[in-house]
Amino acid sequence: MISALLFDLDGTLFDSTKANVKAYSQAFEKAGVVFSADKYRQLFGLRFGEMMEQIAPNTDPHVVEKIKNLKSEFYKENLEQVKPNVGLLNFLRDAKAHYKTALVTTASAKNVDSLLSHFLSGENLFDVIIRSEDVAKSKPDPECYKLAAERLGVDPSECLVFEDTKIGIDAAAAAGMAYIRVTL
C-alpha cells in the first residue's frame, strides 16, 4: 500500500529549464568558460560536479566553485522564467493530508530554497527534502530515493515517485519504488 509520495523538482513540480539554462549561461560567461546549452540539456538531472566534468572537463576547481556560486545567484534573478506545474502542485496540496511527502532532487540547497520560497512561501508541503548535498551519488543511483524513504520512516515499496526523466525513473525503480512519469 502506498503511504508516501516522492516528487522530483525540476521538470516535475516546476519547469525550470529556461531559468537554469540562462543562469548557467550567465555564470559560465562571467567565469570565462565556454557553455553549451544543448550539452546541458543532455545532462539535465546530473549533479553539478558530474555535469561540469562533461561540459568543461579539467576546469580549475576554483573556477568550478565560482561557476556554482554564480549560477545560484543568477538563478534567483531568473525565477520569473520558472513555470509551476499547477495541477501537480494542487494534487500535492490535497494529498499532503493523507500521505507522507518528500521532495527528492539533484538541485543544490541554494537553488531549492530559492525556488520554494519564491513559489511556495509559507507552505510546508514536504515532510522531507533531499538535495544534492545530502547524497554522494546522483540519479540514476537510487541513493536519494532510499534516503527519502528512510527519513520518512517507510519501506521503499510503500513509495510512489513522480519523475520526469529516464534517469529519475531508473533511480526510483532501482530503489524498489513505483513511479509515474510526469511531462510538462
Q: What does the pLDDT look like over 10-57, one tens digit per residue?
A: 999 999 989 999 999 999 899 988 888 888 878 877 788 888 888 888
CB 172 within 8 A of CB 18: no
Domain stops at, among 45, 63, 80: 80
The pTM (predicted TM-score) of the whole model is 0.90
Contacts of 63 (CB under 8 A, 6+ apart): 31, 32, 33
Instruction: Give me the CATH number covering residue 177.
Output: 3.40.50.1000
Whether residues 65 and 95 share a domain: the answer is: no
| Same-domain status, 72 and 111 | no
Active-site annotation holds for 8: yes
Per-residue pLDDT of 99-137, as tens digits, reads 999 999 999 999 999 999 999 988 999 999 999 999 999
Which of 8, 38, 127, 164 is labelled catalytic?
A: 8
Range list of H helices, the chain: 17-31, 37-43, 48-55, 61-77, 86-95, 109-119, 143-152, 166-174
DSSP reduced 3-state for 119: helix
Of the candidates 111, 151, 99, which has an alpha carbon nearest to the alpha carbon of residue 130? 151
Last residue of a domain, one of 80, 101, 130: 80
pLDDT score recorded for residue 34: 84
Query: What domain range includes position 41?
Result: 17-80
Q: How many CB atoms lie within 10 A of CB 128?
A: 19
Phi-psi region of 33 (alpha: psi -120 to 50; beta: other; left: phi over 0): beta
Together in a domain, 91 and 119: yes
Mean pLDDT score of the chain: 94
146, 89: one domain: yes
Query: Where is the domain boundary, 27, 50, 80?
Result: 80
100 and 127 belong to one structural domain: yes
Per-residue pLDDT, 41: 79
Query: Into how many domains does the chain fold?
Result: 2
